[in-house]
C-alpha cells in the first residue's frame, strides 16, 4: 500500500526533475544563436548547474530532517520550477550563469532527499527495488524530453513575441511549480503523518524498520519517527549533523561509491546536454528536428 501510494508519485516528480534539468540541451542551438553565446559559454553554464548541485546536496538533506520532508521537497520543486521559468528571461551569459547556478542549488536536494525519505518507509533490503522504480522515470524523461521540446518549440515559436526555446522553459517549468504545491497536500512527512494508514499499519512499519522498540526508544532515530524539531533545536542538531558528516567523509566506501557514480553520471549527463547539438552537427537536421531525433 505504501509503495503504490508513494513511489509512482515520487517517480513522476523525478520525471519533471529530469525534464527541467535537460531542457537546456534542447534549447541549445536557438538559445546560443539569439543571445550570441559561444559553445564555451554554454558548457560553462552547464557546469555551473552541477557546481551548485554538489555544494548543496548534503546540507539539503540535513534541512529535510529539520524542516520535514513534505515542506522541504515542496520548497525544492517550487524554487527549481520558478528558476526553470526564469531561464526564459535570460539575456546574456552572466544571467545564464547565475540562473543555472541557482537552479543547481535549488534542485540539489531532490534525489538524495527522496532516497532519505524512502528510508522512512522501507528497510534496506527493500530500498533497491523502490529506488529502481523511482529512478526509472529518468529514462522515460529521456524519451519524452526531445518529443516535448520538438512540439513546444515548433508550435509556440513567436507567440507573444517569444522564441520557441523560451517557451520551452516556461511550459516545462509551470508543471513543476504546480507539482511542488501538490506535494504539500499529498506527501506525508513519514508514517506518523500518514492519515491513510491505521495506527496498526503505522506500528507495523515502525516494527519492520526498528524492531520491537518501545516508543520512547525512537528518540535516537530520524525525525520521521518522533515529534518534529523546533527551531530552538537548530544549533544542537546542526552540531550533531556536522559530526556525522565528518564521520561520513572518513569512510573509504563513501569515496569509492562517489567515484563510481562520477564515472556513470558524467557520460550520461554529457549525452543529455549535447546530443541534440551533436545530431544537428551532422548537417541532416534542423535544430528543432534534432530534438525529436535525440529521443
| pLDDT tens digits, 257-278 | 888 988 888 887 787 777 777 7
pLDDT of residue 218: 45
Confidence class for position 62, pLDDT limits 50, 70, 90: confident
pLDDT of residue 287: 57
pLDDT at 217 over 70: no
pLDDT of residue 231: 54
Summarize the confidence of residues 230-250 as an average pLDDT.
69
Higher pLDDT, 175 or 276: 175
Higher pLDDT, 29 or 186: 186
Helix (H) or strand (E) holding 36: none
pLDDT at 229 over 70: no
Q: Dump pLDDT digits (tens) for 118-157.
A: 999 999 889 989 999 998 888 888 788 888 888 898 899 8
Percent of the chain whose pLDDT exceeds 70:
85
Summarize the confidence of residues 148-167 as an average pLDDT.
90
Confidence class for position 56, pLDDT limits 50, 70, 90: confident
Dihedral sign computed on CA atoms, order 146, 151, 152, 156: positive
C-alpha cell at 143: 524519451
pTM of the predicted model, to two decimals? 0.83
pLDDT of residue 216: 45
Cα 182 off chain centre by: 16
Residues recorded for the chain: 295
Q: Which of 179, 153, 187 is nearest to 168 (CA)?
A: 153
Amino acid at each position: 500500500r505504501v509503495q503504490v501510494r508513494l513511489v509512482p508519485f515520487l517517480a513522476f516528480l523525478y520525471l519533471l526533475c529530469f525534464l527541467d534539468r535537460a531542457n537546456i540541451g534542447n534549447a541549445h542551438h536557438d538559445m546560443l544563436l539569439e543571445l550570441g553565446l559561444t559553445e564555451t559559454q554554454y558548457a560553462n553554464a552547464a557546469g555551473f548547474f552541477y557546481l551548485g548541485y554538489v555544494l548543496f546536496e548534503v546540507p539539503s538533506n540535513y534541512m529535510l530532517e529539520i524542516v520535514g520532508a513534505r515542506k522541504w521537497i515542496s520548497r525544492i520543486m517550487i524554487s527549481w520550477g520558478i528558476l526553470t521559468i526564469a531561464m526564459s528571461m535570460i539575456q546574456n551569459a552572466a544571467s545564464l550563469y547565475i540562473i543555472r547556478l541557482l537552479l543547481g542549488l535549488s534542485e540539489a536536494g531532490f534525489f538524495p532527499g527522496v532516497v532519505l525519505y524512502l528510508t522512512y518507509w522501507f528497510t534496506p533490503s527493500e530500498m533497491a527495488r523502490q529506488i529502481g522504480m523511482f529512478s526509472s522515470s529518468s529514462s522515460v524523461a529521456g524519451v519524452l524530453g526531445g518529443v516535448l521540446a520538438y512540439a513546444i518549440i515548433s508550435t509556440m515559436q513567436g507567440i507573444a513575441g517569444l522564441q520557441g526555446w523560451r517557451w520551452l522553459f516556461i511550459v516545462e517549468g509551470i508543471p513543476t511549480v504546480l507539482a511542488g504545491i501538490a506535494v504539500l497536500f499529498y506527501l506525508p512527512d513519514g508514517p506518523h503523518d500518514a492519515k491513510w494508514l491505521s495506527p496498526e499499519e503505522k506500528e507495523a512499519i515502525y516494527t519492520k524498520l526498528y524492531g520491537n522498540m518501545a516508543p520512547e526508544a525512537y528518540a535516537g532515530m530520524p525525525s520521521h519517527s518522533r515529534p518534529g524539531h523546533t527551531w530552538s533545536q537548530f544549533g544542537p542538531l546542526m552540531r550533531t549533523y556536522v559530526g556525522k558528516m565528518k564521520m561520513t567523509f572518513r569512510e573509504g566506501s563513501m569515496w569509492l561509491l562517489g567515484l563510481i557514480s562520477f564515472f556513470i553520471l558524467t557520460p550520461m549527463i554529457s549525452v543529455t546536454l549535447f546530443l541534440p547539438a551533436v545530431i544537428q552537427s551532422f548537417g541532416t537536421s534542423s535544430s528543432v528536428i534534432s530534438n525529436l531525433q535525440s529521443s
